[in-house]
Amino acid sequence: NLDQALQEISAAPSLEALHTLKVQYLGKNGLVTQEMKTLGKLSPEERKEKGRALNEIKEKLTAALAAREAAIKEQSLQEQLEREALDVSLPGYAFPSGGLHLISQIQKELLDIFRTMGHSVVEGPEVESEFFNFDGVNMPEWHPARDMQDTFWLQPPEGFTIQGPFGESVNDLGSALLRTHTSPMQVRYMVQHTPPFKIVVPGRVFRYEQTDASHEAMFFQLEGLVVGEGITMADLKGAITELARGLFGAEGRVRFQPTFFPFVEPGAQFAMWWPERQKWLELGGAGMVHPNVFKAVDDYREKLGLPRAYEGVSGWAFGFGLERLALLRYGIPDIRYFYQQNRLSFLRQFRN
């Protein structure tokens, strides 16, 4: 009966169930179709009567089927939308991002100041030969100044060679060590280039040292070297003053005091005036390149078949530690915070 059929249709749970019902009623062998086939045996009166009734039933069933199909599709669409819904108001995930270590930031700041003055930035190896680190910068083995820089000596594996400025093997030039300063790059650079030039050399250096609040076995230096005709101590003071102004603004000033480094003559230690705190920051060493350094460079060049290039020129050099600058400038109490502890909570204070 029709009511029952309509009820079944409107309760069909899926498109497949609906299709089964459609076949059952309206299919080739469906109930309605079979009834239609009996019409031929009826009298014209009855046929007209029953025909109209059957058509009505067929239309109702068809309409009901279509309605249910639409409803089922609508429902599954709704379900899909719900399933795939995005709550755009949910707070996002935090993607932690890295930042530059304070010392990297300071290094960058310093390099930018020197680039402005026309210096090229060059780097050298941390594993050095005794020659470039000591002998070449006028610190022969017997020189008492070697005691100033306690050294990590290395015992390289069989077949290891230290390369010179042109990639040549320099195994005949003393023991291997971790460079104690960036000054060996003075020698390497001068061997490879002819004056005039201006360079700065940032890099890691190592000292065999008991660590405490102001000493680390590893730290960073910045080395400066300018060589050419007629270069004087005044040029050095000018450059360091420019550095002070770059770091501390227009009121930045420098102070030079005589001191001794084997690779400069005259030699000085320099301090910078920190206007904000009204005090001097003792920063590093500097001076005019010692003739023995130029001589060692030219001898090395000659050994490689290159012409001597450092007779009749002069130059200045400086070197200082980046950590010291950072400690003073930011009031950091202990150098070990930088690398031994290296805590994010410490480093994050200096993110920019």
Which residues in this chain contact ligand PHE in the complex, by CB under 6 A?
Answer: 181, 183, 223, 261, 264, 284-287, 317-319
CB nearer ligand PHE, residue 174 or residue 287: 287
CA distance 108 to 204: 14
CB nearer ligand PHE, residue 65 or residue 185: 185
CA distance 118 to 213: 36
Burial degree of 116 (CB within 10 A; 0-12, 13-18, 19+): exposed
CB nearer ligand PHE, residue 25 or residue 220: 220
CA distance 277 to 13: 82
SS (H, E, C) 192-228: HCCCCEEEEEEEEEECCCCCECCECCEEEEEEEEEEE
**Nearest to ligand PHE by Cβ — which residue?**
319
CA distance 216 to 212: 7
Residue 132 Cα distances to 10, 55, 136, 177, angstroms: 94, 107, 5, 10
CB nearer ligand PHE, residue 183 or residue 314: 183
Which sign, positive or negative, has the C-alpha torsion 49, 52, 58, 63?
Answer: negative
The owner of tokens 């004087």 is 232
Task: Give me the sheet containing 153-154, strands edge to edge.
Answer: 127-129, 176-178, 153-154
CB nearer ligand PHE, residue 164 or residue 315: 315
Q: How far is the CB of 289 from ligand PHE (least distance, A)?
A: 8
Q: How far is the CB of 257 from ligand PHE (least distance, A)?
A: 13
CB nearer ligand PHE, residue 181 or residue 188: 181
Q: How far is the CB of 211 from ligand PHE (least distance, A)?
A: 17
Q: How far is the CB of 157 from ligand PHE (least distance, A)?
A: 28
CA distance 63 to 297: 101
Cβ contact 220:323 at 8 Å: yes
Q: How far is the CB of 199 from ligand PHE (least distance, A)?
A: 12
Q: How far is the CB of 284 from ligand PHE (least distance, A)?
A: 6
Q: How far is the CB of 140 from ligand PHE (least distance, A)?
A: 16
CB nearer ligand PHE, residue 300 or residue 318: 318
Residues in the chain: 352
